[in-house]
């Protein structure tokens, strides 16, 4: 068989793998009381796995994955293990370049930078504090990844000036992926942080005191016999004016560990929480018996009406088991969706129209690469991936989306993403339009106009798709003030 070309070598290796798997099966069949072949079977399976690894490595090399050739032997062909190491190093170097490019796009020379004090910790973990007192706990594969994350933690994405203690790490890691120890140290849940990590944030800016005062005032505005009618009227109003939005993660099982995890205990405006796991409607929490929304919410309000120590009850309600939110940055501020805990309290806070809720908030970073299938929904139209790809191409032409398509002439290209004002703009048009409209309601049309997106582009899914794929006008190509930025470590 001719194995001169790379595709031919890959085909040959795959044929050998198939043969080796048959060998393992034959050895298994021979295993009986006359001959123990388990050792031979194990060796055959190990060889098949090694051959599969060799195929995977060759495929990555031939499809253009970044590779650090400087570590390969100069006078001999590399082994699969050496190629794997070179690919891992190439991935790290490419990611470093990509995050540097993203930081450059976020630079705003005309804006005051947000100052952060960053304490470096073992296992690529960090603790960052900005001038407003916000404390962000993070695991980041690279310092540039952390800096990109911090650039999106302010009210608007922008310039960050960072002072590291001790000095900023300079050596690139061998791998982007976290080790098992790093996975355990990463702040993916509040349980891995110190038990008092939320105390300073809870007391910040007087939000707890204000919430306690508003809860105490309920008894002057609401009688016990009025609670049911109040809840029904408020739920009807919420579902008419601010219904829950579709899921931004249509395939939760496809979530992978990103290049960074950053989270903070902080007070959040409940109007920016646009979805909870029990998402039929506000007030209809899908739980049995007393935990059902229609039962639990009125009962909880009656408890607050008779509570003597409201500050203590409030603190217990919000810190004994934290509300957990996912944070999606936008051009003028974030939107949030519920993660895994706090559904009842979120519904209650929306019904009572309280201005802030205390939560453990995890930022959702923009990926570096994705395909239309990563955002397409399971039950969407069959041409949804092609529609998404067409929108990406249109947004790239308008300069709204920054990045490159690996196969721009293909109906289903992969996107190397540098920046986009909001992640939901990458989603199918019905989701993008729904989130875009809600964002306008919360932050105003100016939030989109500063990105050169007319607010009426989100009137409907069809309108968004039409505008996004239309040819750019001259005024849409002018430089945007919101895309510029460079981190300034000290």
421-460, pLDDT tens digit by residue? 999 999 999 999 999 999 999 999 999 999 999 989 999 9
Cβ-proximal residues to 129 (8 Å cutoff; 6+ apart), any chain: 116, 117, 135, 136
pLDDT of the residue at 475: 60
SS3 338: strand
Residue 111 confidence class, pLDDT cut points 50, 70, 90: confident
Residue 254 confidence class, pLDDT cut points 50, 70, 90: very low
Output 396 or 67, whichever has higher pLDDT: 396
Output 107 or 240, whichever has higher pLDDT: 240
Average pLDDT rounded to a whole number, residues 140-155:
94
pLDDT of the residue at 2: 46
pLDDT of the residue at 328: 95
Pseudo-torsion of CA 262, 268, 270, 274, nearest 10°?
-20
198-216, pLDDT tens digit by residue? 999 999 999 999 999 999 9
SS3 359: strand
pLDDT higher than threshold 60 for residue 78: yes
Radius of gyration of the chain (CA): 27
| CA-closest candidate to residue 275, choices 330, 378, 379, 347 | 347
pLDDT higher than threshold 90 for residue 61: no
Measure the CA–CA gap between 40 and 46, rounded to whole angstroms. Answer: 10
Contact present, 124 and 178 (Cβ < 8 Å):
yes
Average pLDDT rounded to a whole number, residues 144-158:
92
pLDDT of the residue at 481: 46
pLDDT of the residue at 196: 85
pLDDT higher than threshold 90 for residue 136: yes
Measure the CA–CA gap between 432 and 420, rounded to whole angstroms. Answer: 13
Strand order in the sheet with 415-419: 369-370, 415-419, 402-405
pLDDT higher than threshold 50 for residue 39: yes
Residue 55 confidence class, pLDDT cut points 50, 70, 90: confident
pLDDT higher than threshold 50 for residue 372: yes
Measure the CA–CA gap between 434 and 443, rounded to whole angstroms. Answer: 14
pLDDT of the residue at 280: 77
pLDDT higher than threshold 50 for residue 253: no
pLDDT of the residue at 483: 45
Contact present, 192 and 180 (Cβ < 8 Å):
no
Q: What percent of the chain has pLDDT over 90?
A: 61
pLDDT of the residue at 393: 95
- Buried/exposed 258-296: b ≥16 CB within 10 Å, e otherwise: bbbbbbbbbbbebbbbbbbebbeebbbbeeeeeeebeeb
| CA-closest candidate to residue 118, choices 70, 161, 172 | 161
For 386-399, the DSSP string reads HHHHHHHHHHHHHT
Pseudo-torsion of CA 276, 451, 484, 489, nearest 10°?
-20
Q: What percent of the chain has pLDDT over 70?
A: 91
CA 316 from centroid of its chain's CA atoms: 29
Average pLDDT rounded to a whole number, residues 240-259:
72
Residue 477 confidence class, pLDDT cut points 50, 70, 90: low
Burial of 167 (0-12, 13-18, 19+ CB in 10 A): exposed
pLDDT of the residue at 476: 59
Q: Global pTM?
A: 0.87
Contact present, 351 and 285 (Cβ < 8 Å):
no
Tokens of 162: 């960072």
pLDDT higher than threshold 80 for residue 60: no
Residue 273 confidence class, pLDDT cut points 50, 70, 90: very high
304-324, pLDDT tens digit by residue? 999 999 999 999 999 989 999
Q: Where in 58-124 does DSSP place strands (E)?
A: 114-121
Contact present, 448 and 480 (Cβ < 8 Å):
no
pLDDT higher than threshold 80 for residue 398: yes
Q: Where in 65-154 does DSSP place strands (E)?
A: 114-121, 125-130, 135-140
User: H/E element holding 165?
Assistant: strand 160-165
Pseudo-torsion of CA 359, 360, 365, 371, nearest 10°?
-80
What's the whole-number average pLDDT of the chain? 88
């Amino acid at each position: 068989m001719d194995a001169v070309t790379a595709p031919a070598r890959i085909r040959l290796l795959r044929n050998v793998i198939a043969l080796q798997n048959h060998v393992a099966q034959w050895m298994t069949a021979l295993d009986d009381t006359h001959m123990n072949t388990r050792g031979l079977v194990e060796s055959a399976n190990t060889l098949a796995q090694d051959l599969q690894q060799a195929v995977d490595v060759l495929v990555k090399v031939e499809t253009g994955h970044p590779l650090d050739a400087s570590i390969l032997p100069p006078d001999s062909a590399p082994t699969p293990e050496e190629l794997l190491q070179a690919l891992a190093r190439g991935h790290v170097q490419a990611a470093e370049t990509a995050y540097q490019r993203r930081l450059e796009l976020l630079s705003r020379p005309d804006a005051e930078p947000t100052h952060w004090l960053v304490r470096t910790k073992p296992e690529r973990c960090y603790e960052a504090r900005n001038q407003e007192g916000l404390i962000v706990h993070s695991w980041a594969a690279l310092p540039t990844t952390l800096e990109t994350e911090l650039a999106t933690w302010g009210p608007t994405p922008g310039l960050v000036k960072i002072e590291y203690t001790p000095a900023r790490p300079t050596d690139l890691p061998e791998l982007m992926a976290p080790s098992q120890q790093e996975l355990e140290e990463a702040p993916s849940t509040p349980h891995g942080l110190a038990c008092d990590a939320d105390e300073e944030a809870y007391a910040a800016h007087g939000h707890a005191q204000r919430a306690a005062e508003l809860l105490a005032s309920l008894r002057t505005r609401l009688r016990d016999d009025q609670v049911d009618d109040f809840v029904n009227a408020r739920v009807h109003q919420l579902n008419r004016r601010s219904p829950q939005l579709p899921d931004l993660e249509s395939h939760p099982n496809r979530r992978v560990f990103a290049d960074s995890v950053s989270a903070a205990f902080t007070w959040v405006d409940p109007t920016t929480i646009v979805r909870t796991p029990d998402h039929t409607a506000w007030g209809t929490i899908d739980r049995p018996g007393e935990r059902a929304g229609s039962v639990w919410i009125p009962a909880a309000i009656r408890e607050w009406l008779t509570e003597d120590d409201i500050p203590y009850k409030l603190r217990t309600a919000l810190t004994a088991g934290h509300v957990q939110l996912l944070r999606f940055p936008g051009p003028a501020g974030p939107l949030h969706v519920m993660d895994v805990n706090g559904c009842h309290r979120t519904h209650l806070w929306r019904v009572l129209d309280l201005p802030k809720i205390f939560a453990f908030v995890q930022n959702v970073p923009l990926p570096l690469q994705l395909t239309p299938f990563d955002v397409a929904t399971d039950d969407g139209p069959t041409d949804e991936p092609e529609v998404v790809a067409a929108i990406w191409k249109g947004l790239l032409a308008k300069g709204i989306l920054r990045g490159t398509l690996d196969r721009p002439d293909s109906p289903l290209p992969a996107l190397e993403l540098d920046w986009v004002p909001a992640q939901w703009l990458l989603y199918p048009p019905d989701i993008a339009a729904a989130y875009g409209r809600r964002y306008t309601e919360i932050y105003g049309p100016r939030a989109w106009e500063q990105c050169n997106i007319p607010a009426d582009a989100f009137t409907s899914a069809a309108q968004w798709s039409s505008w996004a794929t239309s040819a750019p006008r001259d005024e849409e190509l002018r430089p945007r003030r919101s895309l510029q930025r460079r981190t300034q470590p000290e």
